[in-house]
Amino acid sequence: MELKVAEYSDYERIAQLHAQSWRTYYNGILGDSFLKNDVQDDRSVIWQTRLINPPFNQHVLLIEEGGLLCGFVCAFGNHDFEKGTIIDALHIDENYRGRGLGQKLLIEIANWIEQHFGQSGVYLEVMAENKQAVEFYDRMGGKNSLQRLWNAPCGNQVPELVYTWDSAADLKKSIIEHHSNHFVTD
């Protein structure tokens, strides 16, 4: 597995994985028509825009195997005055799930956050009905600190949970503790 910082030339394959992930895990949460007809174009515009002239506080990491995109993570440093740095997206190709790639990407993005936005808390938003993601972030030591409605691109208002960590160091510590406990008990 190789880690690399995303470049503009990666936007189409990031958008493809992002759209496929939404189709798989947001089915029944986001509108059917949006997921069938519009999600690919929506994600393509988002990723093209993000990568053509990235803001200084954006960091996108890819994890690849043999040149194939297995997953990605995107964060925006100091995105929110109170909560700090947002982990805006974390998606793993379904063929590579269960291999610890999500944890690896979270540790790497936490390293970046710690280096560049060290005084910042860390947070992310996850759809309340996305049970596999909610369980994952619970295992990663996130505190479910808020529930609110998200105005999704399909026009639906979707309940979302906001998970927080006090710092990038706390996020890394939680992941490492879970990782070592996971191997002790399995």
What's the pLDDT at 176?
86
pLDDT digits (tens, 9 = 90+) for 18-40: 999 999 999 889 889 999 999 99
Distance (Å, whole) CA 86 – CA 79: 6
Q: Where are the domains of the chain?
A: 2-185
Q: How confident is the model at residue 185 (pLDDT cuts 50, 70, 90)?
A: very low
What's the pLDDT at 179?
64
What's the pLDDT at 95?
93
CB 80, CB 141: distance < 8 Å: no
Cα dihedral 9, 13, 18, 23 sign: positive
Question: Whole-number mean pLDDT of the chain?
Answer: 92
pLDDT above 90 (res 123): yes
Per the CATH hierarchy, to which homologous superfamily does domain 2-185 belong? Answer: Gcn5-related N-acetyltransferase (GNAT) (3.40.630.30)
Distance (Å, whole) CA 169 – CA 113: 9
CB 73, CB 90: distance < 8 Å: yes
Cα dihedral 111, 82, 101, 12 sign: negative
